[in-house]
Amino acid sequence: MSFTVAIDGPAAAGKGTISRAVAAHFGFAHLDTGLLYRAVGARVLAGEAPLAAARALTAADLEADGLRSPEVAEAASRVAVDPAVRAALVDFQRAFAARSGGAVLDGRDIGTVICPDAQAKLFVTASAEVRARRRLAELLERGHATDFAAVLADVQARDARDSSRATAPLRPADDAVVIDTSDLDIAEAVAAAIAAIDARR
């Protein structure tokens, strides 16, 4: 039997951490759909055209080095505006969601476009300042030279682009449970997510 958990939200709200913890808790497979857009973005930075890159994507691309860099994140956010690029990535995501044994997909449009019939939908968010602080800590830990103002500007620019695009903009599905992690630690956020999913099982 398939059981799909859709987890959407803006960059650095805690989606990834919550998704991995939820998948481990329920024994579900997990797909970080941002990696698909990052892999396309990385191919575009290497000189490919966006649609050709999306169509040529392989599982190995998702393992490529450097997909977490700010440059690739920016390129991902840009290619994600293109409806043809998004359409080229739909089948892979839906097939993943339909696998037996349960699946967690996290992204921006999982509950609204990719899996509108998902059994459980969460929208994980936090203030831009809190998200920038978390992203800064991550980037510094990985050795990227940056500062709070630059990261906050990047978070705000990506929010604006992801929320205002015409195709599949970032927004909570009508039936999503919203979890604001601004004042929650990881354990509290994960517990809130598990409780929301349990309520749908």
The contact set with ligand DC (CB under 6 A) reads: 11, 33-34, 37-38, 73, 76-77, 80, 107-109, 158, 162
| Contact yes or no for 162/77 (Cβ under 8 A) | yes
Taking Cα atoms as reference points, which of 38, 26, 39, 31 lies closest to residue 8? 31
Residue (73 or 195) nearer to ligand DC, CB: 73
Q: Coil, strand or helix: which one is 172?
A: coil
- The rounded radius of gyration (Å) of the Cα atoms in the chain is 16
The two three-digit tokens of residue 11, written as one number = 């960059």
| Contact yes or no for 108/170 (Cβ under 8 A) | yes
- The distance of closest approach from Cβ of residue 30 to ligand DC in the complex, given in angstroms and rounded to an integer, is 13
- The distance of closest approach from Cβ of residue 48 to ligand DC in the complex, given in angstroms and rounded to an integer, is 17
Cα–Cα separations (whole angstroms), residue 129 to 66, 85, 110? 25, 30, 25
- The distance of closest approach from Cβ of residue 158 to ligand DC in the complex, given in angstroms and rounded to an integer, is 5
Residue (50 or 107) nearer to ligand DC, CB: 107
Residue (109 or 121) nearer to ligand DC, CB: 109
Residue (80 or 128) nearer to ligand DC, CB: 80
State the residue for tokens 């575009």: 44
- The distance of closest approach from Cβ of residue 3 to ligand DC in the complex, given in angstroms and rounded to an integer, is 19
